[in-house]
Structure 1
Amino acid sequence: MTGLLGHDLGLRPHTDALDGVPRTDDPQKAKDFTSDQEVRWCPGCGDYVILATVRSLLPELGVRRENIVFVSGIGCSSRFPYYLDTYGVHSIHGRAPTLATGLAVTRPDLSVWVVTGDGDALSIGGNHLVHALRRNVNMRILLFNNRIYGLTKGQYSPTSEVGKVTKSSPGGSVDAPFNTLSLALGAEASFVARALDSDRAGLTEVLRAAAHHRGAAFVEILQDCPIFNDGSFDVLRKDEAPSHLIPLRHGEPIIFGVDDELCVVRKGFGLRVVQRSEVDAADIVVHDAHTDDPEYAYALSRLSDQDLRYVVTGIVRQVVRTTYDDAARAQVRSAQESGTADLQQLLRGDNTWTVP
């Protein structure tokens, strides 16, 4: 950890979130992480694909099931812990990051995951989300974004596009939606990524990286709600999808399109999409997810818009910095070693006063 605190505590940033988490030598399969609970989502819901992807990834990590915990808030996505044979907490609306923070600080032997939705995380839970990211708590936050309130039957959410007609906005929403990646980057998240529920390979790749990232790993998953917002991401799934999706791979030029006819170049302080035929190959931006330059990652996030003309996917940013939980535990150890860890001594110390 850089700065005075890191120097005083002797911290050295870890690079793998699974350091210190007990592993198993027993071979595991997806069915080992499947609980006995009946999965209850609407037919066609994107949550099914996400659940299957997570179940397939967990055996690959080689972590004991007893040392994995999923924490959720309230919403359709928040039923997730019931369907995994790991430890799980179905908590209260918007507060999943707070419970997960307590687990991450007190139990370094756990792999901590948060499952939330666009309403749960970005409305009532917005404050908790941004501070978990700012603190860089060692947890993975999976935000299922269907741009609607599904569980409460179809009200517009903090990510719904302007003009969205719903039960709570019959004249069309006048709210400007969050750019989720920009929000996470503005909160200093050390890992920011996005995936599409129907892109099983891309989703797996992002989740694998998030599982190993030590710090707050924010993953937005664009997910269809077939009942209240059906087809909201269809433009990203059809034949013309390559012209809208901007896949990011560290160390590779940002080129996309049906025939790779589009690319990303620098423009002033930001980035823009242009035809490859209009620029020299040397002008095409080579993606660097590990750069310390936060402005670059933010500029990438601004390529995405509410109209889905362009949508960035993959890992936008992945940097290493000391986590809140590592720092907190180191501070406790330092206090114990200095002999000031006596609670009664602290309570009965000289720093008191009397109010007549």
Structure 2
Amino acid sequence: MTIVETSLVGADLGLTGLSGVPGADGPQKVKDYTSDQEVRWCPGCGDYVILATVRSFLADLGLRRENMMFVSGIGCSSRFPYYLDAYGIHSIHGRAPAIATGLAVTRPDLSVWVVTGDGDALSIGGNHLIHALRRNVNMTILLFNNRIYGLTKGQYSPTSEPGKVTKSTPMGSVDHPFNTLSVALGAEATFAARALDSDRAGLTEVLRAAAEHRGTSFVEILQDCPIFNDGSFDVLRKDNAESHLIPLRHGQPLRFGAEGEFAVVRRGFGLEVVASDSVAEADIVVHDAYCEDPEYAYALSRLSEQDLSHVPVGIFRSVSRPTYDDGVREQTEIARERKPVQADSLQQLLSGKETWTVG
């Protein structure tokens, strides 16, 4: 097993998110990633489709299963590690990014993944999420967004639309919800993307790019909760879905609709959806996923509306920046070179001059 040497400027050395992670000895199949645990989600849950897509993707990714780690918090999505035949931790509410950070720092030979939900990540876990993104730790975060608390039986979540009637908001929610991609980009995520659970091809494409990105990759996956929020994303699946989904393809004009009848143009400091025939072709925005300026990706995220009129899907942003874990390992190595660790260093720490005995 060969580990790629790390550096504070790892991104500038051409390292990817998979650098140093050992590959499998031979071809893998979906069944290799299928555990012996009974999958216990409600019938029709979007998590089933996501699980099947991830299993297939991991088989194609071709890493050693013992060098993959899936960390989850609390919620329906957080049962994910049970159903994958790879290493995993079902951790505590909202703290999965913190645990994953420790793994990424100490084990550069691991591909580290966080599986979380809109409640787990954006409520109690909001602080951990934004700091993982800010630090740019080499991990991939999958946030399943069904705009409801499912495991605790149907309370409104930080992404529920205004006026949402739930068990905890019988007269309708008065909260203003998070725009999930705006939160990630506001925390300066170096990789941010969105996919729909039922679009296996699109989700697979995003997963591969996220895994290969060095740094924190953030992927929002829109998924259905058939029990407590059924049909919340139906407008993006049924007839005329093309009029609502804005596919993001690097280097291509932002034009969408069954006949390309809609387009995205710049308006002031932001972006706006207009009829294609109302503007010149040169005025239509060409998507640049590698734009260093975060304002463009943020403006793109603001096109999303609670009524799902316009929902960009694909890779919003993918840029390079030094990672937290590379930096910590480099500093640790420098410290070791300056002052080699002694065999009894732990005992010296425990009984050194900063300790005393109480009689």
Same fold (TM > 0.5): yes
Q: How many Å apart are 1:12 and its aligned residue?
A: 4.2
Q: Secondary structure at the match of 1:242?
A: helix
Amino acid at match of 2:239: D
Aligned twin of 2:54: 54
Q: Secondary structure at the match of 2:152?
A: coil
Once the two structures are superposed, residues 125-161 of structure 1 have per-residue CA deviations (whole angstroms, 9 ceiling, x without a partner) of 0000000000001110000000000000000000000
Once the two structures are superposed, residues 255-314 of structure 1 have per-residue CA deviations (whole angstroms, 9 ceiling, x without a partner) of 101211001111111111111101111111110010111100000000001111111100
Q: Is the 8 A contact 2:114 2:141 kept in 1?
A: yes
C-alpha distance 8-33 of structure 1, shift in aligned 2 (>3 A): closer
Aligned twin of 1:287: 287
What's the TM-score once normalised by structure 1's chain length?
Answer: 0.93
Q: Pairwise mapping of residues 256-335 of structure 1 onto structure 2 (< 5 A)?
A: 256-335=256-335
List alignment gaps of at least 5 residues for structure 2. Answer: 1-5
Q: How many Å apart are 1:32 and its aligned residue?
A: 0.4
What's the TM-score once normalised by structure 2's chain length?
Answer: 0.93
Aligned twin of 1:144: 144
Q: Is the 8 A contact 2:8 2:327 kept in 1?
A: no
Aligned twin of 1:212: 212
**Cα RMSD for the two superposed structures:** 2.1
Q: How many Å apart are 1:346 and its aligned residue?
A: 8.0
Once the two structures are superposed, residues 69-109 of structure 1 have per-residue CA deviations (whole angstroms, 9 ceiling, x without a partner) of 10000000000000000001000000000110010000000
1:161 equivalenced with 2:165 (yes/no): no
Structure 2 CA distance for aligned equivalents of residues 246 and 229 of structure 1 = 23
Q: Is the 8 A contact 1:11 1:327 kept in 2?
A: no
Aligned twin of 1:35: 35
Q: How many Å apart are 1:25 and its aligned residue?
A: 2.8
1:127 equivalenced with 2:121 (yes/no): no
Q: Is the 8 A contact 2:8 2:326 kept in 1?
A: no
Structure 2 CA distance for aligned equivalents of residues 93 and 80 of structure 1 = 14
Structure 2 CA distance for aligned equivalents of residues 8 and 289 of structure 1 = 24
Q: How many Å apart are 1:26 and its aligned residue?
A: 1.1
Q: How many Å apart are 1:226 and its aligned residue?
A: 0.2
C-alpha distance 8-70 of structure 1, shift in aligned 2 (>3 A): closer
Q: Is the 8 A contact 2:191 2:210 kept in 1?
A: yes
Structure 2 CA distance for aligned equivalents of residues 224 and 82 of structure 1 = 20
Structure 2 CA distance for aligned equivalents of residues 134 and 120 of structure 1 = 18
1:104 equivalenced with 2:108 (yes/no): no
Structure 1 CA distance for aligned equivalents of residues 205 and 324 of structure 2 = 26
Q: Percent identity?
A: 76
Q: How many Å apart are 1:343 and its aligned residue?
A: 6.8
Q: Pairwise mapping of residues 164-183 of structure 1 onto structure 2 (< 5 A)?
A: 164-183=164-183
Q: How many Å apart are 1:351 and its aligned residue?
A: 10
Q: Pairwise mapping of residues 232-247 of structure 1 onto structure 2 (< 5 A)?
A: 232-247=232-247
Aligned twin of 2:3: none
Q: How many Å apart are 1:190 and its aligned residue?
A: 0.5
Once the two structures are superposed, residues 174-221 of structure 1 have per-residue CA deviations (whole angstroms, 9 ceiling, x without a partner) of 000000000000101100000000111111110111111111000000
Structure 2 CA distance for aligned equivalents of residues 184 and 351 of structure 1 = 42
Q: How many Å apart are 1:24 and its aligned residue?
A: 1.6
Structure 2 CA distance for aligned equivalents of residues 346 and 272 of structure 1 = 60
Structure 1 CA distance for aligned equivalents of residues 317 and 160 of structure 2 = 24
Amino acid at match of 1:249: R
Amino acid at match of 1:113: W
Structure 1 CA distance for aligned equivalents of residues 303 and 211 of structure 2 = 26
Structure 2 CA distance for aligned equivalents of residues 329 and 256 of structure 1 = 45
C-alpha distance 118-8 of structure 1, shift in aligned 2 (>3 A): closer
Q: Is the 8 A contact 2:9 2:322 kept in 1?
A: no
Amino acid at match of 2:219: V
Aligned twin of 1:3: none
Structure 2 CA distance for aligned equivalents of residues 185 and 344 of structure 1 = 45
Q: How many Å apart are 1:38 and its aligned residue?
A: 0.5
Q: Is the 8 A contact 2:116 2:143 kept in 1?
A: yes
Structure 2 CA distance for aligned equivalents of residues 10 and 281 of structure 1 = 39
Bigger Cα displacement from structure 2, 56-65 vs 342-351: 342-351
Structure 1 CA distance for aligned equivalents of residues 339 and 217 of structure 2 = 35
List alignment gaps of at least 5 residues for structure 1. Answer: 1-5
Q: Secondary structure at the match of 1:143?
A: strand
Q: Secondary structure at the match of 2:333?
A: helix
Structure 1 CA distance for aligned equivalents of residues 259 and 8 of structure 2 = 54
Structure 2 CA distance for aligned equivalents of residues 138 and 198 of structure 1 = 27
Aligned twin of 1:249: 249
1:25 equivalenced with 2:25 (yes/no): yes
